[in-house]
Amino acid sequence: MSEKISTAEAAELAGTTEEGIHNLIGQGILRGEKRKDQWFVDKKFLKAWMKRRQEPRVQLPKIFEGVGRVFLENYRTIHSKEQAQHAGIRGTLYEQLLRDFLRDHLPQRFHVGSGQVLSSQGAMDSQGLFYNLSRQMDVVIFDSLNHPRLLPKYELFP
């Protein structure tokens, strides 16, 4: 037989109010029973609830720490002279690492690529060539739901 304690004792033990304990009973989270005019809760269930409440189900800082650790390890692999001795090749690998990271972590509505950006004031000359284009951008992020990607194989972004 499990020990029953008053809602006042339960509130003190759980660091909440009696009203909070009554709400938990009403939601079916805690087992409660009414004797005469007073409510009692099962102490074993109260302690189990308190333990679950204190343990975060998702530890966001640890997730971010792991993501950062993987990114840094990939960076270090590229940076090691044995992997890519040529500075230009290393630079290209760094850019790709960053684009892949952003693709994996940004919402899907955002496109990540590299290429040139066409100014909102951009237009074509008489020969059909664009002007008001940026130089080559190593990383371009844009809202793919609201803006079309122009010339996808060429990577021209609005």
Q: Which residues contact 101 (CB under 8 A, 6 or more apart)?
A: 71
Is the pLDDT score of 128 beyond 80?
no
50 by Cβ neighbours in 10 Å (0-12 / 13-18 / 19+) ranks as middle
CA neighbor of 135 nearest in space, from 150, 119, 123:
119
pLDDT at res. 107: 92
Cα-Cα end-to-end distance for the chain: 71
Of the pLDDT bands very low, low, confident and very high (cuts 50, 70, 90), residue 134 is confident
User: What sign does the dihedral 9-15-16-22 (CA atoms) show?
Assistant: negative
Is the pLDDT score of 103 beyond 80?
yes
Q: Give the residue-averaged pLDDT of 10-31.
A: 88
pLDDT at res. 15: 87
- Give dist(CA 92, CA 114) in Å, integer: 11
Residue corresponding to tokens 């004797």: 35
pLDDT digits (tens, 9 = 90+) for 36-84: 888 999 888 888 888 887 766 677 788 888 888 998 888 888 877 666 6
pLDDT at res. 12: 92
Point out the least confidently predicted range of 9-23, 96-110, 118-132.
118-132
- Give dist(CA 82, CA 78) in Å, integer: 9
pLDDT at res. 106: 92
pTM of the model: 0.54
User: What token pair was written down for 84?
Assistant: 């890519």
pLDDT at res. 80: 75
Mean pLDDT of the chain: 83
* Cα torsion through 59, 65, 67, 71, rounded to 10: 180
pLDDT at res. 69: 92
